[in-house]
Amino acid sequence: MELYLGKYNLILFEKIDIPKKYKININHQKNEFFYKNLNKEFEIELEIHYSEKNDNNCIAMFIDPLGNVRKKFYSKNTLERDIKEFINNLFDIDENIYLRKSYRAISNKKIDSNLLDLLIYSAKLAPSCANKQPWNFVVVTEEDKLNLLKESLPGGNYWAKNSPAIIAVYAKKDDDCDLSDNREYFLFDTGMAVGNLLTQATKFGLIAHPIAGFDPLIAKKVLNIPNNYTLITLIVLGYYGNSSNLSEKHKETENSIRIRK
Ligand SMILES: Cc1cc2nc3c(=O)[nH]c(=O)nc-3n(C[C@H](O)[C@H](O)[C@H](O)COP(=O)(O)O)c2cc1C
């Protein structure tokens, strides 16, 4: 089938009269745990095409501006309602982006190594300057090594001691673009990879909490990371556990709304 790039397209396989314009109303004021004040309204206009060819038994197909088929519709009776609902969901914030939160009530339950592999894979799917992929990840699950690594944590990060897996993220300047005007991209690109990883971990129902609070000399020594690399963050991983051992301040942030400017 021909792709219709650049517009939201609806391919209809029957002559059905359907509105072109749809109002989107994103309102997250009700979800107080994540949003204080997010209320957006806008309108999109679909380009409607009729087609005879259909091997899928569907009566309509929604195609996004990148040419991807995003949804097939099967019921003529509910088509208009289904399209409205689909479009509204399409413009919602991705649920793994909003559900991600730096929780601290980490349980010591082990994480399947396949999930850990997928986390790293999701990180590597990030874009990077000239595809340099400057990032390096070490997944630490082995108990002795994990305990040694945890010795690099200061008192304030006491909550991370329960974690069954920590991912150390390191990179060096020479492994990425270094452009004029101090545009060194190694930290930026590695950050994007970590962003993917955090969102993917959320999808798996995992807490993935990045920290800067560790002693880099101790951590680098435990992990054999050469000195010319920057150990950027440790990502503390785990399933949600018991919050009763957290400090009063951390118990509060555990249940508080995520503050944004
Ligand atoms: C680079 C970086 C360093 C961080 N260091 C710590 C840390 O050492 N200890 C900690 O408890 N949280 C740490 N955090 C978590 C932040 O406090 C948290 O992301 C921020 O308050 C926003 O909350 P949210 O992640 O729940 O949305 C760090 C986050 C980032 C991105």
**pLDDT tens digit sequence for 168-177:** 999 999 999 9
Closest CA to 254 of 27, 133, 242: 242
C-beta of 163 in contact with ligand 1 (< 6 A): no
User: 101: CA distance to ligand 1 center in Å?
Assistant: 9
C-beta of 233 in contact with ligand 1 (< 6 A): yes
What is residue 4's predicted lDDT score, i.e. its pLDDT? 56
What is residue 26's predicted lDDT score, i.e. its pLDDT? 81
113-254 under CATH 3.40.109.10, yes or no: yes
**Beta-ladder partners of 69:** 63
C-beta of 258 in contact with ligand 1 (< 6 A): yes
C-beta of 232 in contact with ligand 1 (< 6 A): no
User: 47: CA distance to ligand 1 center in Å?
Assistant: 43
**86 touches 10 (CB < 8 A):** no
Least confident of 9-13, 16-20, 90-94, 142-146: 90-94
Closest CA to 169 of 112, 214, 132, 103: 214
What is residue 2's predicted lDDT score, i.e. its pLDDT? 59
C-beta of 157 in contact with ligand 1 (< 6 A): yes
CB burial of residue 177 (10 Å; 0-12, 13-18, 19+):
middle
Mean pLDDT of 61-74: 94
CB burial of residue 23 (10 Å; 0-12, 13-18, 19+):
exposed
C-beta of 162 in contact with ligand 1 (< 6 A): no
Mutate to test the pocket of ligand 1, among 211, 230, 254 (most ligand atoms within 8 A of CB): 211
1 has a pLDDT exceeding 70: no
User: 49: CA distance to ligand 1 center in Å?
Assistant: 48
Mean pLDDT of 76-92: 93
* pLDDT band, very low/low/confident/very high, at 3 (cuts 50, 70, 90): low
Pairing of strands 39-45, 47-50: unpaired
**Beta-ladder partners of 9:** 47, 63
Mean pLDDT of 203-212: 98
Mean pLDDT of 199-210: 98
* pTM score, whole prediction: 0.93
Question: Looking at the chain, which residues constitute the CATH 3.40.109.10 domain(s)?
Answer: 113-254
**252 touches 229 (CB < 8 A):** no
